[in-house]
Amino acid sequence: MSQDDAKRRAAEAALAYVHEGDTIGVGTGSTVNHFIDLLDQKGPRIEAAVSSSEASTKRLRACGIKVRDLNQAGALDLYVDGADEADPHLRLIKGGGGALTREKIVAEASRRFVCIVDASKCVRVLGDFPLPVEVIPMARSMIARKLVGMGGQPKLREDCTTDNGNVILDVTGLRLTDPVAVEQEINQWPGVVCVGLFARRGADLLIVGSASGVETRQAAS
């Protein structure tokens, strides 16, 4: 089974958490693309979606799914999104697709966050995948120096401007044994818009697709 097939399995399993007439949050990325397509093909028919990116908005509308602004929608019952890494506590690295800030906003506005991944995204400790940090352009060099001071190696993501008009630094070399503390520290630096650690508010459920089937995980105590 291909990695893409495993992603599709996880995305299909997430449909069980969607109810007719819901307004749900929808994330960004290749696994979420499967979810959007399957939602269109198999239902249930939702009232609307709150999207975390322009790319997902375009795909939702192409499927005939109404997209609503979060300010109009209010609190959401469910958010479905993927991840670049997930640890046993369901803390995540996200932002490989560049939508980390809007993803974190929609996740925060949702009562339940269902994360859909293929098995390759599951790790014991976060940090092999470069940690994205969205930064206001004028603060790029200052933030890069601070990240170096933490032991990281930041690199500007080439040809990338976020939907918010900012840049992304991808940081390698950080072993994230305490991702909550790292998330809190980086987020307080002036010039940082968002860090792609979803640790303080991780996933509530992790749906993992693989060749052997689908596994649903809850956070380790």
- Residues assigned a catalytic role: 103
Using alpha carbons, select from 207, 100, 197, 205 the residue that is nearest to residue 152. Answer: 197
Amino acid at 81: D
The sheet carrying 153-156 orders its strands as 153-156, 167-172, 131-135, 192-195
Per DSSP, the three-state class of 182 is helix
d(CA 9, CA 2): 11
Strands 167-172 and 85-86: unpaired
Going from the C-alpha of 58 to that of each of 50, 61, 116, 123, 182, the distances in angstroms are 12, 5, 20, 32, 33
